[in-house]
Amino acid sequence: MAKSKEVEINKDGTIRGLSNTAVQMIAFGGSIGTGLFLGAGSTIHRTGPSILFVYLIIGLFFFLMMRAIGEMMYADPEQHTFVSFIGKYVNPRLGYFAAWSYWLELILAGMAELTAISTYVKYWFPGVPAWLIQVFFLLVLTIVNLAMVSSFGKSETFLSGIKILAIIALIGLGIYLVSTSHRNPSGTTASWGNIFNHFSMFPNGLHQFINAFPMVFFAFQGMEFVGITTAETKQPLKVLPRAVNQIIGRILLFYIGSLLIIMAITPWNTLNPNESPFVQIFKLAGLPAASQIINLVVIAAACSTLNSAIFSTGRHLYQLAEESSAKSMGFFTKVSKNGIPIVSVLFSAGMMILAPIISSFNSLSTAFAFIASVSSDIYILVCILTMVAHYRYRQSADFKLNGFKMPQYRWSNPLTIAFFIAIFVSLFFNQTSIWPAIGALAWGLGFNALLSYRHKRVEIAEED
């Protein structure tokens, strides 16, 4: 197949076809999803205006993690996933654990988004079976992922663009309502004073403030997708630093900007935590089609996350196969003429087809919800190991003095690790999150114990 002179082909046959815009949109796609459009009302209800501090603090630590990932990817831009550095710089066994756990977490996330998509589509077409909707969207997005990598980038740019337009529309509308002192049907007036009047850091208690941290933490999940696109990004040494430095500011702008506007238009304690704050604000503005518009946006948001999940799981499985000595894993290293790890993508997408089956049985749905929660908690452990890998990288011979360095890593790296540990520990003090947290801990200990046992068996066999 003829390639353009502008296209750079890696040694393994994959193609660098993602632009800076596509990379940023992929990160937007992963980290700005239904959590903002549907779940922001719940977090505002917990802590009031102080939720802004929660987003700001977590955004800062995610930026530090992104700088750590960016520094390692800059030093070795041919890696298909940032998780591979855990095995390289921390411990091969922990790297194996992190890679498979993160792959599984993304599979479950993709399945959850499929279930969400069918729910949102049935809002308009209640008679269409959920399984048929799920199969259709999975098939379409898998085909997109099997085309040129640039096709994936364009699709993600389009889907993320819908979300960004919705947020910009909300911010623009909010500024207009505040500047005109719009009087809401409930009798309140849009004003910046709604944010600061009778401000309390812990309006519902310190416990609720602390519980908001893990909720917001998971809202930022997906930003690390930048560390999965590097091997297929054009001019990675130029694009990577720019993408990492720009994306955190823009995400914070959209998140904090949205929350500021929402709480300025109407007092935070008048919001319904069980309804999308975007729908509520558009209704206050007199837009009758608010529910329809936001339904379209959340479908785009869910499709965007699913699209990124298919891409990311395919690259993770491909990287695992490349690093594995098992002959059976060699099957997953096949790269298509278009530069796509085709078998890894198809297998990962095929795993997500379990979603329609699970959603058909209530008992399975309950079990899936628990497993998905456990998997999300494991993500925190992967973040901790990633930061440990970065610290070890800085001590290694691979460290590039003129690279894209994480600022003040000697204190910022340990501080980030401590913060992530604190987030994980906080899960054990919440009745709804304690069992998934225990499950995540059990999975980590059990997985590593099994690997250790297998390693000893191999050593004994070799001695004999």
Q: Give, for all 464 residues of the chain, the pLDDT tens digit.
A: 444 445 677 676 667 777 777 777 776 666 777 777 877 888 888 898 999 999 999 999 999 999 999 999 999 888 878 888 999 999 888 988 998 999 988 898 888 888 888 888 988 988 998 889 999 999 999 999 888 777 888 888 888 888 888 888 889 989 999 999 988 887 888 899 888 887 788 888 888 888 889 888 888 888 887 777 777 788 888 888 888 888 778 778 888 999 999 999 988 888 888 888 888 888 888 887 888 888 898 899 889 888 888 988 998 898 888 887 777 788 888 888 888 889 999 999 999 988 878 777 766 667 767 777 888 889 999 999 999 999 999 999 999 989 899 999 999 999 999 999 999 999 998 888 899 999 989 988 888 888 777 767 666 665 65
Q: What is the pLDDT of residue 140?
A: 93
pLDDT tens for 21-52 read 777 777 666 677 777 787 788 888 889 899 99
DSSP 153-170: HHHHHHHHHHHHHHHHHH
pLDDT of the residue at 137: 94
The residue with tokens 């999803």 is 33
From the list 411, 26, 56, the residue with the least C-alpha distance to 239 is 26
Query: What is the DSSP code (8-state) at residue 189?
Result: B
C-alpha 140/C-alpha 312 separation (Å) is 16
CB 149 within 8 A of CB 339: yes
- pTM, two decimals, is 0.88
Domains in the chain: ranges and CATH: 17-463 (1.20.1740.10)
SS3 content of the chain, % helix, strand, coil (to 5): 75, 0, 25
**Residue-level pLDDT at 294:** 86
Please count the CA atoms within 13 angstroms of the CA of 205 that sit on its side-chain side.
3
The pLDDT assigned to 365 comes to 66
What is the rounded CA–CA span in Å between residue 420 and residue 64? Answer: 12
pLDDT value, residue 30? 64
Please report the pLDDT score of residue 332 as a whole number.
85
Phi, psi of 12 (to 5 degrees): -85, 0
- The CA distance from 329 to 397, in Å, is 30
SS3 184: coil
Q: How far, in Å, CA of 385 to CA of 408, rounded?
A: 19
Alpha carbons 261 and 178: distance in angstroms, whole number: 9
